[in-house]
Amino acid sequence: MNNAFQYSSIEIWLLDDDDIVRSTTAQWLRLSDYEVKEFHRAQDILNNFQSGQPCIIISDIRMAPMDGITLMNECLSQEKELPIILITGHGDIDTAVNALRDGAFDFLEKPFDPNRLIQTVEKAVQLRKIQCQHAGQSQYLGDLHGLEETIIGQHEQITRVRQQIHTFASMDTHVIVYGKTGCGKELVAKALHDCSPRKTRPFVAINCAAIPTDLFESELFGHEAGAFTSANKKRIGKLEHASGGTLFLDEIESMPLAMQIKLLRVLQENQLERIGSNDTIEIDLRVVAAAKNDLQTLENFRQDLFFRLNVSQIHLPDLRNRGSDIPLLFEHFCRLAVQERGGDFRPLSPIDHETLTLYGWPGNVRELRNVALRYALEPNTSVAKILAGYQAQDNIDTLTPLPLSVKVQEFERSLIEASIRQQKGNIQAVLEQLQLPRRTLNQKMQKYGLNRADYLE
């Protein structure tokens, strides 16, 4: 799997003008497998830092000539989301608390417990990975062109699908596309058509499961006026309309057996007759058929039709097996929603990112697109809350439950959000109501994407 947007290594930029403290802290971090770059002057960090750098900064506050607060403000002016951890002595607690309000990720009071250091750094690193991944995704989406703009993803199976589309499009043969509901089978069929010499001719899509049995023949073959009671005028069928282009037969396993026989005859002879007519019409068809299960193993699907269609196959993976493509596709759908309906793009919080990757996505890309639309249009909601709402509204047994860790975090987020709203953004009142230390509340608000300013009245 291609992890183009996964930053496995986030550097720790450690700043302290005390050589002993700096080297000791660096040793603790390296023993926990972090890559550490040491600095003894703030200006050296500013000379090396640029927005998007895969790093976090740990800085002492009291230094000369530039102190840690000034450094923080300079760095945050370039990238306001950069995680910065401040190290402070007892006399600088008020300064550190104010720094949290101004954008610091956290602060550690000297002398600090090495375990506390590692825990804080781990949270900051995870956040930075998500930020860097988001930046990489945004650049990738902005640079898309051609087929990559239609079939989006970096997973190796999706890369293979794009390669197969390029290969099969020019071969002008029938293709079977396999994939579960919501995986994008029609999207692939349309891409095959658009990349083929037939692209200037019609692309005709039929959902075989949606056509009543008694209307199937008329829908495919058309009819002459007076062919049956309700046939008031001549009608061109889908097969004839698609001639020269591509016919997409979705859920072809639902096609009645009688129609399978007639379709096979059309594909063998490249001609058809409308209902009520004896005239033969020559047609030129390319068929892309889509199915959820292997057609060769189905008792109600004719083997001779399967062999006629089975020249080439494309298999689409379930979304849950596409790993890093999930946040990428989510961002793509969010940006489309914002472009079409207005609003601002809202990056994922750590809990939303975790929810996306842990959820099983039984509805595949179609379900992801719907959740992204809700997320983009409802600024005060979260991915977990949207999915929990789907669970409550739908009693289908096959729905994938939310992981326990996500449920716990979403419950915690809802309690904190409710308190901030009730107290109208008064953080001191929230602290007293929830009985939380200020540092803990700040961390959780940052984790859950809660901003005090959104609740002021």
| Ordered DSSP codes for 301-369 | S-HHHHHHHTTEEEEPPPGGGSTTHHHHHHHHHHHHHHHHH-----PPPHHHHHHHHHS--TTHHHHHH
Q: Shortest CA distance to 85 belongs to which of 121, 47, 31?
A: 121
Structure confidence at residue 85 (pLDDT): 95
Structure confidence at residue 230 (pLDDT): 73
pLDDT-flagged residues of the chain (< 50): 1-3, 392-399
> Domains in the chain, ordered, with CATH?
11-142 (3.40.50.2300), 156-316 (3.40.50.300), 320-455 (1.10.8.60)
Structure confidence at residue 355 (pLDDT): 85
Structure confidence at residue 65 (pLDDT): 92
Structure confidence at residue 421 (pLDDT): 79
Dump pLDDT digits (tens) for 70-96.
999 999 999 988 999 999 886 777 888
Residue 219 to residue 77: CA distance in whole angstroms: 63
Query: Widest CA span of the chain, in angstroms?
Result: 98
* CB count in 10 Å sphere of residue 380: 10
Structure confidence at residue 135 (pLDDT): 84
Residue 186 to residue 172: CA distance in whole angstroms: 17
Structure confidence at residue 441 (pLDDT): 87
Residue 49 to residue 355: CA distance in whole angstroms: 31
Residue 339 to residue 170: CA distance in whole angstroms: 34
Task: Match 């402070």 to its residue by tokens.
Answer: 88
Task: Measure CA of the first residue to CA of the last residue in the chain; give whole Å.
Answer: 48
CA 205 to chain centre: 27
Dump pLDDT digits (tens) for 202-259.
999 999 999 999 889 999 999 888 777 777 788 899 999 999 999 999 999 999 999 9
Residue 226 to residue 346: CA distance in whole angstroms: 58
Structure tokens at 214: 């008694």
